[in-house]
Structure 1
Amino acid sequence: MPALALCSPELALSTATVAALAPPPEKEEAMNQEAEDRGLAEVVLERLEKERLPRAIDLKDKVDAGARLDDMDIAFLERVFADTQDLKPMVERHPEYHALAARLMELYEHITAKALENEKAG
């Protein structure tokens, strides 16, 4: 194999040496996935803290007081449920998020169940 000289003969590397030093494709994919998951988790947790959780708590208080959900409330819940489906694979890869995800789902389940009860009551 031909050598690739990098500035000096002491740094001559063959393509075989470079290939041997590179992480295997599976490991590189896993490293990329991990970095992508970290970035996604950061964004999702920030959105949860600043937007989603305060709105969910407001909705819980609203339905617990016997009120009905309006169209904007329902649209919000639909977005949350769609995002939840999109995030499932990441949550499944990271057990550290399982408890948080379960508690959030319990909260949203409470909101929807109570909202349905309020609708039926008129």
Structure 2
Amino acid sequence: MTATTRDLFERYHACWEARDPDRIAELHTIDSVFHLHSGQPPALGRAAVRQAAADSFELVPDLGFKIVSLRFGEDFWVARFKMTGKSASGAALDVDLADFVLVENGAVKEKHSYVDGVAMQAAIAPAEDSP
């Protein structure tokens, strides 16, 4: 079963790398939870997951992920990433991310993402006006 979980991770990660919210949502269960633990409520269900992913790509149009570490279990994976890109405000993004993902019937049931909130806010904050 771990091979199946790894295959799901590979397909799911490819969707994030392609910045494709539709394909990301398709790999979630109908009642999935996607919670970016940075102060906002979780996205519940595929439509909300799709919107949350689309919002991420709007904030950082060239969002990329470098895998730092990755572990698999029967029905989960845990990954550490370095998120990179340039935010819509023009700031460089170099932010640590940790994901804990639960799998059910070959799809993502829950995705809990933990980011370096200080670094993320600095990268996505609007650029200050110059005098």
Greater radius of gyration (CA): 1
Fold match by TM threshold 0.5:
no
Higher helix share: 1
Normalised to the residue count of structure 2, the TM-score between the two structures is 0.26
Higher strand share: 2
Normalised to the residue count of structure 1, the TM-score between the two structures is 0.27
